[in-house]
Structure formats: structure tokens, C-alpha cells
Structure 1
Amino acid sequence: MGGSVSCCISPRESPKNHRIELELEECPFTAEDVSEDTGTYLQHISDRELPDELAHEANPSDHPRATTLFLNKSQTDVREKRKSNYMNNVSPGLVMRKYSSCSTIFLDDSTVSQPNLKNTIKCVALAIYYHIKNRDSSRTLDIFDEKKHPLSRQKVADDYFAVNPEHKLIYRFIRTLFSSAQLTAECAIVTLVYLERLLTYAELDICPSNWKRLVLGAILLASKVWDDQAVWNVDYCQILKDIAVEDMNEMERHFLELLQFNINVPGSVYAKYYFDLRSLADDNNFGFLLEPLSNKRAQKLEAISRLCEDRYKNLSKTCLRKSLSADNLGAVKSTKAILS
């Protein structure tokens, strides 16, 4: 028909495809492992790493599509509460819940970039509470055992490993550390990410005997990774006056080794944990305080959004910046100073 290959020839009768079929009969690999161009076995790197990739997606602290562990742990109690409310004819929602309308928009002061500190710590403490209450077992290590490595001089109770702490106790412990070290709400979210990553990597459980030291180790690491001005271990010894800095250093080393030194937290994973914490707050009926959106609050939100955009633009310019050659040195201008 004017082409180099006649349209009447079957594709299976092509010498090239016939050669590939003969090699497939002799080769133990599948057809996907054979290159159509060379006819030889060529395994792609993604095929070799497929099992690791599947395990990676199953870990919520590494992959944004996997559901967080604490949200799964809380669903048992949430279902029981909803069933109890249904049987007792109790409204599951808040009596004073507010809804947006065409004329009024209700928003809280918490965003992904700047979460509310108090509410975030409450949600993180609640997530840890559900981890302890609905744990599958009590797998732990001696380095995190509070009996063997106490955080204070007070005597540890004999049944310390069997009594689950209340949500208020966990909240006060975390709030004391964040208030004394002046940590941010973003650091609390990263702390929860490191905790769930440790549980997955090291196959441990948060239980009454180790929750304080696990939380302390996660806060130590999160404050150094997230905050520009990190708090040193000796500074935490001033908050927890009865713990030695050598013990703090050893616990941090074990924490990093169990994390396999994976301290990276992608933005997608951070955002997933933030919104799952908000869902946890709604399920437990202590949602964030809603207020009408005024002009002042709208301008504040717009300023925060503009600041994030400027940071992204500056980062892009920095990555694309080119060095000057010797011919253009005379064209360099001095930067104007801004006096405030």
C-alpha cells in the first residue's frame, strides 16, 4: 500500500516478534521482563523495589495515602460513643455547633502552616491516649522503660505497666515540655509523626511503662529537626531536673537508630497528620473554637497566605540563581538598606 511494510502481514509473523517468542520459550522470565527492542531480559529498578514500595505505602509516617495509626486506633471508641448516643437518644454533635451561611463564615484560628498550639497539643495527647488504650500488645525496650530509667526521683508504682494514663495526664506532660522549651505547634505534629514511624519501624507499642520516654525522645528529635533554634538536651534536663544528660543522649541515639535515621517529614505527610488530628477532635466533640470571619481576620489570613507564597517564590529564585562571570562584575549593584 505504498509503505515499507504491507498491512496484510500479521504482526505475529514479524521476524522480530518471532525471535522474541522463541526466546520467551527458553527464558524462565515473563513477557514483561523482556525488552521489545533487544529481546534480552531487562529488569527495571521499580520492579526490584516493588516490595519495599508496597511496605512504604503501608507506613502512614512515610506515605500520604496511608491512614494514620492513631485515627484507626480511635475508631473503636468513636463507634461505641455513637452507638451509646443512638441508644440513649443523645445528639452526637455539640449543642452550640456553628455552621457557615451565605452571610456569615465561621473559621478558627488554626491553619496548616500555623496550627493552634493548645488545641494541637490536646489532639496529639489524645492520639497518644488511643495508642495506649487500644494497643495490640505491650512490646517495648529497656531504654524506654520508666522503671529502669525513671524521669524523676519519685518512686514508680509497682503496677506502672498496667494502669493506662488519662488524657489529661498526657496533655499536662506534653504541655509542660512545650511551654518550658517554647516549642511550636508544628513541632507537636512532627512529634506524632516520629512516634508512629518508630512504632512501625521498630515494631513497638506505646504502653503505660514507656509512653513518657517515647514522647520525650520524639520531642527531642522533632525540636532539633523542625525549629531553627533547637533546644539542647541539657536544656531539657533543666525542665526534668532528675534526669541526667547522659541518659537523655543515650535515649536519643536509640531513637535515631530505631528510626533508621529517617527524620524526613514530607509536606504531604505533615498535612495529612494535621487534618487527621482535626478529624480526631471532631470525633471526640472538642473541635476548634469557631468565630465569625471579620475583615481583620480575613486580612490576617491573606497576609499569612502571601507570606507562604513569597517564601516559595524566593526559594524558587534561589534554586534558579546563576553565578556571575568576570565580565559582569561591573554590573553588580549594591543592595539598598531598609531602616525601620
Structure 2
Amino acid sequence: MSTEDRYGSMKAGATKPIEAEKAKKFFYSANDIDKPCSSPSEPNVDHTVRSVCTQIHKLLDHSVRHHKKNPKVIPVFCEDLHSLGVTDMTQIPLPQIEHMHIFMVYIMHQLQMNPQCSIICLIYLERLITDAKVVLHPINWRRLVVISLLMASKVWEDHSVRNAAIVQRAFPFFTVKEINVMEQEFLELLDFNLTITPQEYLEYYFSLRELCGADFLAKLKKEELELLETKSKQQSRTAASRPKSIDESALSLHVSSLSSSTPLPSTQTTSEPARQECAASSSASPSSSSQQQPVEQHASSTTSESDATPSPLNK
């Protein structure tokens, strides 16, 4: 069985890894003009994965164009040349972005990964290139992507993907032992440096979103651009005409009532009995002056008791 058949053939007429209906339910369509909002905590799945694949394709293209005599490709991540139908690794063609996109979508769909894992996957791959000097090549990109997504899931998600799940749900031609060996080699190459800082994640997220936005706008026709601009203006008008959450009249009435109320005496110059007397006098009506006498008697008795014990307020 060839590698294309094992990983899911991308040729015309071949069976797709996932059905179109399932993909439409789980992922957003790239042809939809009404794009859902994207944020660092909830990035758009289809756009993010496509941008990650575009960047990986650029790295692959660079390694093919600047081919070294003895590139550092780890044997455990390399595929069999015979299964690829070539006799030399220089004969392996560069994969298409669409092929890479379907490959990553298949993995994330089968293992139910969050879209953030694709961004972290790209961070790990670029660390392999810059820190471990590993060459990302058409002979090893599939296995490196699989292990990078696996590590991203274990670092990011609360319920991470287990190694056995890759064999059971995605690639049955692998064994759990092979996955364990690749995982160990991957960790040693990165020197177990799997930490992702918030700043690093945001830098990759916004760079990928900018890349996706430029790609998306380049593919749109003139009519679609005008439609997108019209809908954007309509949304702006709707947001401007939306009623405010707080009624300004009620707010002004509340402020005026607060300003007209009797201010309370300062606690730094007035004792507690005096404050009680002030609160009682403000709540009582003018006709109920006789009811204030018990309060005054209570205040005077309390003041006489407090004279026996010196207090900072009485000095």
C-alpha cells in the first residue's frame, strides 16, 4: 500500500478522509462570506488550519529549494521511499496546500482537537527547525505534524489525546510503540521545551490571521468585496442605533436624588451616637420631633459613658 493510500488519497475520485457533510457541520466553510468572529481563545477553525498549512508549505518549499547534501532528517520520522514510489528523497514532490489542509483537518476531526492545537503545532515545528536544526522535508512532514499535534493536545487541552487514540481513530497502520518512539525522539529534539508563553501564542495567532485575511481577500471577486463592505456598513449602523443598556434619564434622576440628600457627618470628627442621631433626624418628619427625645437621651447617656474611657474621637 502506498503512502498516499495509507494517509488518505487526495487524488481525484478517491474517497475523502471525512465526508463533506461532517466537515461542514464541524468546520466553517471557507466559501462563506459571513465569516464568524475569530479570537485568540476561539480561532476560526478552517482559516487557522489553512493558514498553518500555508506556512508549513513555505517551510517545505524553502527546504526543497535550498537542498543540503546531508540534511538532518531523523530516520524515525522519515517515510519509506518505496511506499512513496521514488528511489531518492530529492524526487519526492512538494505536497499541495489543499492536500496538507485535508490531512490536518482529518487528524483534528478524528481526535476532536481544538483549533489552538494547530497554532501550537506550527510553533513546535519551527522550534525543531531553528533550535534542533531539523530539516522539514516532504519525506518527514506528515509524521512530524502528527507528533506535533499530539504534543500540542497534551500541553493545551484538559482532556488530551492519548497515543493509542491515534492508532485507533486516525492511523491504524501505526503501532502504539511507534508513536511512543516518535514522541520520545520529538521531546529530546526540543529538549523537552514545550512551554508556550501567551505573548508567543498571540504573535503566531495574529500573524496567521493576517496571512489568512490577505489570502481570503485575494480570492474574492469584485462583487463579493462590495457585498462584504455593504454588510460591514450595515452592521456598523445597527450597532450605532442599538439602544443603550442604561437609561440615561433614570441615571440622571438617580444622581440628582443622591446630590439632594443630606450628607452624613464625617466619622473623623463625630462620634457614633451623633451619627445615629443625624440618621434618625433625617428620616423623621417635622411633626415627629417628640420622637427624637429618646434618641437624644440615649446619645447623652452614651456620651457620658464614653467619657470614662478615653477615645481618639473624643479628644
Question: TM-score band (shorter)?
Answer: 0.5 to 0.7
**Distance 1:288-1:197 versus aligned 2 partners, 3 A rule:** farther
Identity %: 31
Write the letter of the residue equivalent to 1:244.
Answer: T
- The alignment's TM-score, normalised by the length of structure 1, stands at 0.51
Structure with the larger RCO, 1 or 2 (CA within 8 Å, 6+ apart)? 1
The one of 186, 193, 206 equivalent to 2:116 is 186
1:182 shift after superposition: 0.7
Task: Report the alpha carbon displacement of residue 205 of structure 1 after superposing the two structures with TM.
Answer: 1.7
1:284 aligns with 2:215: yes
Alpha carbons 2:38, 2:44 under 8 Å: kept: yes
What is the deviation of 1:283? Answer: 3.8
Deviation at residue 139 of structure 1 after TM alignment: 3.0
Structure 2 unaligned runs (5+)?
Answer: 1-32, 221-227, 243-315
Could you tell me which runs of 5 or more consecutive residues in structure 1 were left unpaired when the two chains were aligned. Answer: 1-97, 99-105, 149-153, 300-340
How many angstroms does 1:282 deviate by?
A: 3.4
Is residue 187–residue 222 contact of structure 1 (8 Å, CA) maintained in 2?
Answer: yes
Matches within 5 A, 1:1-340: 108-135=36-63, 136-137=66-67, 138-147=71-80, 155-158=83-86, 161=89, 162-238=92-168, 239-285=170-216, 292=232, 293=235
Contact 1:281 1:287 in 2 (8 A): no
Aligned residues: 189
Q: Which has the larger helix fraction?
A: 2
Check the 8 A contact 1:160/1:208 in 2, yes or no. no
Q: What one-letter code is carried by the residue in structure 2 that aligns with 1:271?
A: L
Deviation at 1:245, TM superposition (A): 0.6
Q: Matched residues in 2 for 1:221 and 1:155: separation?
A: 26
Deviations 1:283-333 (A, max 9, x none): 43458996644779xx9xxxxxxxxxxxxxxxxxxxxxxxxxxxxxxxxxx
Cα 1:139/1:201, change in 2 over 3 Å = same
CA contact (8 A) 2:49 2:115 kept: yes
Q: Which amino acid aligns with 1:157?
A: G
Contact 2:120 2:201 in 1 (8 A): yes
Give the CA deviation at 1:265.
Answer: 0.3
Is the CA contact (8 Å cut-off) linking 2:128 and 2:134 kept in structure 1? yes
CA distance in 2, matches of 1:287, 1:227: 34
Amino acid at match of 2:152: A
User: 2:57·2:97 contact (CA, 8 Å) conserved in 1?
Assistant: yes
Question: C-alpha root-mean-square deviation of aligned residues, in Å?
Answer: 2.9
Q: CA deviation at 1:160?
A: 7.3
Q: What amino acid sits opposite 2:125 in the alignment?
A: L
